[in-house]
């Protein structure tokens, strides 16, 4: 039996990168998946590639009403909700704290932190009905700092704390909630934001001397989403190629 047979999942930011790798793996393992993203073209393309067990919704994870809509339409389409992967995120403006624009700070916090809260706020009542798992996408920067990325670092630290708190609140409701902390992964977000020299430097900061692949993160997310991780909750799981081991 496939590890996600008869399960229904939401994956935010699922049109590319880690989110897309998760969606592909989830469908392969038997799940029905709702992919959300702001990129309508890529989202529709990904859903079409995955076939009848996938649907796409254009949605902004920083808006409470969009998160509510995602849950409602997923349940209407597939009949239940068992799994949520709150993956949508942006890198945001690169600046020191005193130089970071107020708008730049707010945008990153709204998407990377508030979006995870809004997601869980609407996901948990549905997941409680059948039991299930929520995986929140943090980062290695959920546990360490990184110059010129104060909003991103603050948001990802917040995701880890939010995850731990929610896990305690819903442990007796058969809802498991964990966070994943990828190192630097080869995704469109990283490729578009960094030049060649920066990429080479980042590769050197990992024990493997390379960036990770989206599927390597997706495999961990799959385990946390499945019943194989039945005693795992409230934990932050780095998958970082040794970045944090320095």
Q: What is the DSSP letter of 111?
A: I
- CA dist 51 and 14 (Å) reads 15
- CA dist 145 and 143 (Å) reads 7
Q: Indicate the SS3 state at residue 210.
A: coil
Active site includes 170? Answer: no
Radius of gyration of the chain measured on its C-alpha atoms? 17
Task: Annotate 156-167 with b (16+ C-beta within 10 A) or e (fewer).
Answer: bbbbbebbbebb
**Rounded to whole angstroms, what are the CA distances from 163 to 142, 178, 222?**
11, 6, 17
Whether residue 116 contacts residue 159, with contact meaning beta carbons closer than 8 Å, is answered with: yes
Whether residue 44 contacts residue 95, with contact meaning beta carbons closer than 8 Å, is answered with: no
Q: Indicate the SS3 state at residue 75.
A: helix
Whether residue 237 contacts residue 181, with contact meaning beta carbons closer than 8 Å, is answered with: yes
Catalytic residue among 118, 122, 152, 237: 152
| Residue 26: CB atoms within 10 Å | 31
Whether residue 12 contacts residue 56, with contact meaning beta carbons closer than 8 Å, is answered with: no
Whether residue 44 contacts residue 38, with contact meaning beta carbons closer than 8 Å, is answered with: no
The residues assigned a catalytic role are 152
């Amino acid at each position: 039996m496939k590890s996600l047979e008869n399960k229904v999942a939401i994956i935010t930011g699922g049109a590319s990168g880690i989110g897309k790798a998760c969606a592909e793996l989830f469908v392969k393992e038997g799940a029905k998946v709702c992919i959300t993203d702001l990129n309508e073209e890529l989202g529709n393309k990904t859903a079409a590639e995955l076939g009848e067990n996938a649907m796409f919704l254009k949605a902004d994870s920083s808006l409470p009403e969009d998160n509510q809509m995602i849950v409602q339409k997923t349940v209407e389409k597939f009949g239940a909700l068992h799994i949520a992967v709150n993956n949508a995120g942006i890198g945001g403006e690169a600046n020191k704290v005193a130089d970071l624009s107020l708008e730049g700070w707010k945008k990153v916090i709204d998407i990377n932190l508030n979006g995870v809260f809004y997601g869980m706020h609407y996901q948990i009542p549905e997941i409680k009905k059948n039991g299930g798992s929520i995986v929140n996408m943090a980062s290695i920067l959920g546990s360490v700092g990184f110059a010129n990325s104060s909003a991103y670092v603050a948001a990802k630290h917040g995701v880890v704390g939010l995850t731990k708190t929610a896990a305690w609140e819903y442990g007796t409701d058969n809802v498991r909630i964990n966070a994943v902390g990828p190192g630097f992964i080869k995704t469109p977000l990283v490729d578009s934001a960094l030049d060649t020299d920066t990429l080479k430097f980042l590769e050197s900061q990992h024990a493997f001397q390379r960036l990770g692949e989206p599927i390597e993160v997706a495999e961990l997310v799959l385990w946390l989403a499945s019943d194989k991780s039945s005693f795992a909750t409230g934990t932050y799981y780095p998958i970082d190629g040794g970045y944090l081991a320095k």
